[in-house]
């Protein structure tokens, strides 16, 4: 049995140093702190009880016990909802830190046991969180199948605050977002903004659009202002022109894109948001030099944060892939139209883009792939099937049906080099042509696509 020295016999001890040897330590435990955090985050005692599958009196009892230990109210009961007092905020910050440290401990122990499990939470705005990170995180999961990565979509202006308070481990934020000095910021990828318009817009076929031609045009804007939009505003001011005439404000860039497709007006958007529409000719990018601005995205985290092994692996993964993501984003189609006479080579591409626009987004259903896969890669010594065959085959279909060059292949289909290499292998085995015919056979109307594969070059 171990003996316990009084506080006065321990050099440098005080109340805080010895609390773990006192009865209060039984009250101040991780489970009770977790109940307290649930009340804070749900802003309601009843909802916290439902989340924890306990009764509301049980939740209230845990909170009262903490208030007795600290000798001060943690919630302002004069106001509706679970509103924290200043002391309550301090306890919540401590509890969040403890929760992160415990999670890091479990992840570390799991890693020492030979696994790569654990949890990590990443926060990002809508553009990187919808159009860039999902594909990256899917690849990360394939390398770490025991991991649990949580991606939260957060308003860019709040990401840094969430990281500072330990509510998320990592954040991805554009350079227009606030990044306090207390956070470490590492550059990841860069992306360019474009001024998009419907293809029938009066400026869509001009080889160059001057800034004064935009005066008075209706604009649709999203929740955040990109560097491209800031540059356009600055150019309008410099030219002595009125600011953009904003006719519609929407909550997401995808919502803005839908409004532009309906012919509402113009907008400055990231190319990843409108890549497919530009490739299919549903939208065009107006050639305005002031708008083609590249914005840098950063990975932010706390200087003193002790990362779990899984979080550290995710950081290294993002670092390793940031250069390739930049290349893929910068290689997305510009969607700019030529105003000259179309050549014979141009006409099939226009026809294909129109056909794809009518057919909708290019996507292989499970039923289509079940019909195609056995033909494309028959089992046997020379027909080994690969897990990425479906993605790469879809990438080849995209090139064939849109008539776009390999360099404009959307990054979700893989790299152009990977698609071309796999296509060459299929052509060498004689399986590409039958697989193409099998895909045509799954379509309700195949006439728009017949004969297009004859123009395909793998090299």
The structural domains of the chain, with segments of one domain joined by +, span: 7-104, 116-189+297-330, 190-296, 346-455
Q: Using one digit for the tens of pLDDT, what is the confidence trace for 422-433?
A: 888 888 888 888
pLDDT at residue 168, rounded to an integer: 92
**Predicted TM-score of the model (pTM):** 0.53
| Whether residue 350 has pLDDT greater than 90 | no
Name the least confident of 80-89, 255-264, 445-454: 445-454
| Whether residue 152 has pLDDT greater than 90 | yes
pLDDT at residue 309, rounded to an integer: 82
Closest CA to 146 of 10, 313, 6: 313
pLDDT at residue 22, rounded to an integer: 55
**CATH classification (class only), 116-189+297-330:** alpha beta
pLDDT tier at 420, thresholds 50, 70, 90: confident
pLDDT at residue 103, rounded to an integer: 82
Contact yes or no for 118/110 (Cβ under 8 A): yes
* Superfamily grouping for domain 190-296: Periplasmic binding protein-like II (3.40.190.10)
pLDDT at residue 3, rounded to an integer: 40
- For residue 208, give the 3-state DSSP assignment: coil
Q: How far apart are CA 141 and CA 135, in angstroms?
A: 10
Domains 116-189+297-330 and 190-296 share a fold: yes
Fold of 7-104: Arc Repressor Mutant, subunit A (1.10.10)
Closest CA to 280 of 331, 203, 354, 338: 354
Q: How far apart are CA 261 and CA 283, in angstroms?
A: 7
pLDDT at residue 11, rounded to an integer: 39
Backbone angles phi, psi at 186, to 5 degrees: -115, 130
């Amino acid at each position: 049995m171990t003996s316990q020295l009084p506080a006065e016999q321990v050099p440098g001890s005080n109340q805080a140093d010895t609390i773990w040897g006192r009865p209060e330590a039984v009250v101040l435990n991780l489970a009770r702190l977790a109940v307290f955090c649930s009340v804070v985050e749900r802003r309601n005692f009843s909802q916290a009880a439902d989340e924890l599958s306990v009764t509301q009196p049980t939740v209230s009892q845990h909170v009262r016990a903490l208030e007795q230990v600290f000798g001060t109210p943690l919630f302002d009961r004069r106001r509706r909802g679970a509103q924290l007092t200043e002391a309550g905020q301090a306890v919540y910050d401590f509890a969040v830190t403890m929760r992160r440290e415990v999670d890091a401990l479990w992840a570390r122990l799991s890693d020492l046991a030979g696994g790569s499990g654990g949890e990590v939470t990443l926060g990002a705005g809508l553009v990187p969180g919808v159009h860039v990170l999902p594909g990256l995180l899917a690849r990360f999961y394939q390398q770490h199948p025991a991991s649990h990565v949580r991606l939260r979509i957060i308003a860019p202006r709040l990401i840094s605050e969430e990281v500072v308070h330990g509510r998320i481990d990592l954040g991805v934020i554009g350079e227009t977002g606030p990044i306090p000095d207390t956070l470490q910021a590492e550059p990841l990828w860069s992306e360019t903004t474009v001024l998009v318009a419907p293809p029938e817009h009066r400026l869509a076929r001009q080889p160059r659009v001057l800034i004064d031609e935009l005066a008075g045009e209706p604009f649709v804007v999203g929740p955040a202002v990109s560097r491209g939009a800031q540059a356009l505003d600055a150019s309008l001011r410099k030219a002595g022109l009125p600011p953009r005439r904003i006719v519609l404000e929407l909550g997401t860039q995808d919502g803005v894109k839908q409004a532009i497709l309906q012919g509402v007006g113009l907008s400055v958007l990231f190319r990843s948001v409108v890549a497919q529409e530009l490739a299919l000719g549903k939208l065009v990018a107006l050639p305005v030099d002031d708008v083609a601005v590249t914005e840098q995205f950063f990975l932010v985290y706390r200087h003193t944060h002790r990362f779990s092994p899984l979080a550290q692996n995710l950081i290294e993964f993002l670092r390793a892939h940031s250069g390739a993501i930049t290349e893929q984003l910068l290689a997305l189609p510009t969607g700019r139209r030529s105003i000259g006479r179309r050549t014979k080579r141009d006409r099939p591409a226009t026809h294909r883009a129109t056909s794809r626009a009518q057919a909708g987004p290019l996507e292989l259903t499970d039923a289509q792939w079940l019909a195609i896969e056995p033909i494309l890669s028959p089992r046997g010594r020379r027909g080994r099937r690969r897990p990425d065959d479906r993605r790469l085959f879809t990438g080849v279909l995209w090139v064939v049906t849109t008539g776009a060059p390999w360099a404009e292949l959307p990054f979700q289909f893989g790299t152009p080099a990977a698609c071309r290499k796999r296509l060459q292998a299929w052509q060498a085995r004689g399986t590409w042509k039958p697989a193409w015919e099998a895909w045509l056979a799954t379509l309700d109307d195949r006439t728009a696509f017949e004969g297009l594969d004859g123009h395909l070059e793998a090299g």
